[in-house]
Chain A
């Protein structure tokens, strides 16, 4: 498991190779057909939801539904929020788990990891490149829902100033800003899951195992969060602050709550990022 030497003269080409590696990783992640299908699937959620709500808006079921679904027919902006709300428990963790669980284990399974290690880039940096790829995919996944959501929402129901959960109506510009903040917050809420996926990905050469473990982590956290008996550990669970994006739809968002949510993600990133680094830089790579 000898690591690639970096003698001082090779420092300059190393930087170039790191950039090249990032570029090729992004091309790999965003160009892979499976990942594109996943993004397409996520993008279909707001489209389908919008269509269904559009077709049923003159029936007695108009304005009903869990979470924000009931508000969509009144304002297309809520299609973004409703779609994110519906994707958060399962679909979003699933797609992100697939992408991040595949990051290292996929290369190992395909037998390309050892060739990747011959690139004059340290293993730590290679892992960072893989993390950039997985994070980019996570961002793309959330953006796919948001962009299709706002376009479909505007087309089906029109956009207007949003009525907050507190009953106050704010202007369209303010509303769009708030929805954008919701999207960014949901995106940042996925970083912990990406770190978990990356760690599982370094543990195994079977990508499906890493993907499944990642998705299971998110789901188990979600289930444990529901149990009142575990209230003491709930604030440490990965999913605990995921729904706090609703803060942006309150009269005065509580930045303390949002900060807690981001700090929690940072904590999971720190721990699982460090675990992934330790594992990846000490592992024997044979395939």
Chain B
């Protein structure tokens, strides 16, 4: 080899890096091109059949990597990578999430930061969140009486004797009904077959018939083999190039995850907070809840279908928001000193008010509120690519998948 190189002309020698660059470029660019260049050649199905398959599919054990991308057009949030893995990051930009599930009642979801992780582990009636940034565990559990009731309900469900069982339609029926419901306000079609995370998938497209909503269309990619939804894209009417919301597997396997992955015990030295969550009186009620059930006090609904605007009155949002940081600081256990205001804000992010059930329930600090909303004559408006929220000065909150101007017009009426 040495001999042959010796005879190369300088020009030929300079061709070597060019060839190397092209080869490297091909190696990195080509595989995705090949992968997406085919129609998977799956048997054709109708939207109803596809929906029925999804409804009847057994929840299968799986593990995989999910990439979530939000292009909601919200203002840049003040804390980016600095804060580490944090659910607030889901409001904008791209996040990588790892998912493990045994298909029954144990699962682990981990939101990845560059050098951090926010984990949510669920095991039946118990759940933990762990934030590696501040080494803090929150343990959500039911109180003993509720645990007994939970086990009872579970046993009933397993034996198939849950009271509501008879009222539930068969999966095929449910799938057909879902499509029928959707067809009232939208057109439901199947797009060309695609490949998601290396698996052949059907694409169900729901396009609103209304042209005043912000939602352009919703595309669900369903795995052809297991009928597990692999990707959901929500397109806004304002951007036809990229979906406003996209969550989908980039890598998935349907093997049962190892037991060690699904187990959780609080690491030594981590700060642990216990939260007891009340079990709703009739958990089965949620399954049968219909859209026309009674609305809570002060809530009115205007419009129909995709243009629905929900209006709640008698809420003092500004006070709730303003009260939060000080409330967080007065929480027991918050006696640490912080290096910066940013650290203090971050800490308060992870310190939800006592009893608030979800880890996302602590988003409403005033700083975040100020950043996300803009001043309008009626109050403060949050407008994103898919959803608008108007908080009026007289204590009403209007929410809808419609342009902000529509909300303002309604509020002014």
* Chain A residue with the shortest CB-CB distance to B82: A66
Give min CB distance, A181 to chain B, whole Å: 15
B267/A168 in contact, CB under 8 A: yes
B6/A251 in contact, CB under 8 A: no
Give min CB distance, B359 to chain A, whole Å: 14
The verdict on B10 contacting chain A, using a C-beta distance below 8 Å, is: yes
A282/B337 in contact, CB under 8 A: no
Question: Among B6, B65, B117, B119, which residue has its beta carbon within 8 angstroms of that of A254?
Answer: B65
**Please, which residues of chain B bring their CB within 8 A of the CB of A6?**
2-3, 6
B2/A246 in contact, CB under 8 A: no
Give min CB distance, B120 to chain A, whole Å: 10
Q: Mark A58-83, 1 if CB is under 8 A from B, else 0.
A: 00110110011011001000000000
Question: Among A64, A125, A231, A271, which residue has its beta carbon within 8 angstroms of that of B21?
Answer: A271
B251/A256 in contact, CB under 8 A: yes
**Please, which residues of chain A bring their CB within 8 A of the CB of B114?**
243, 246
Are A167 and B28 CB-contacts (below 8 A) given A251-B261, A274-B16?
A: no
Question: Among A85, A125, A278, which residue has its beta carbon within 8 angstroms of that of B14?
Answer: A278
B17/A167 in contact, CB under 8 A: no
Residue total for B at the interface (Cβ-Cβ under 8 A):
53
User: When chains A and B are docked, how far (Å) is the Cα of A271 from the Cα of B45?
Assistant: 48
User: When chains A and B are docked, how far (Å) is the Cα of A166 from the Cα of B63?
Assistant: 15
Residue total for A at the interface (Cβ-Cβ under 8 A):
43
* Chain A residue with the shortest CB-CB distance to B24: A267
**Please, which residues of chain A bring their CB within 8 A of the CB of B341?**
none
Interface-located stretch among B35-43, B130-138, B140-148, B183-191: B130-138
Give min CB distance, A55 to chain B, whole Å: 17
* Chain A residue with the shortest CB-CB distance to B2: A122
User: When chains A and B are docked, how far (Å) is the Cα of A125 from the Cα of B3?
Assistant: 12
A169/B6 in contact, CB under 8 A: no
Interface of B is mostly: mixed
Give min CB distance, A3 to chain B, whole Å: 7
Give min CB distance, B6 to chain A, whole Å: 7
**Please, which residues of chain B bring their CB within 8 A of the CB of A124?**
2, 5
Are A167 and B270 CB-contacts (below 8 A) given A70-B135, A251-B110, A267-B28?
A: yes
Residues facing A in B136-166 (CB within 8 A) are 137
A68/B115 in contact, CB under 8 A: yes
A165/B117 in contact, CB under 8 A: yes
Residues facing B in A221-280 (CB within 8 A) are 226, 228, 231, 236, 243, 246, 250-252, 254, 256, 263, 267, 270-271, 273-275, 277-278
Interface residues of A (CB under 8 A from B): 3, 6, 60-61, 63-64, 67-68, 70-71, 74, 85, 122, 124-125, 163, 165-169, 226, 228, 231, 236, 243, 246, 250-252, 254, 256, 263, 267, 270-271, 273-275, 277-278, 281-282
Q: A60-B337, A67-B115, A274-B17 are in contact. List 19 more A-B contacts (CB 8 A).
A: A6-B2, A61-B339, A64-B343, A71-B135, A124-B5, A163-B135, A165-B115, A165-B117, A167-B117, A167-B137, A169-B265, A243-B115, A246-B115, A250-B110, A250-B112, A263-B27, A267-B28, A278-B14, A281-B13
* Selected A-B contacts with CB under 8 Å, 6 pairs: A3-B6, A163-B267, A246-B115, A251-B261, A252-B261, A263-B27
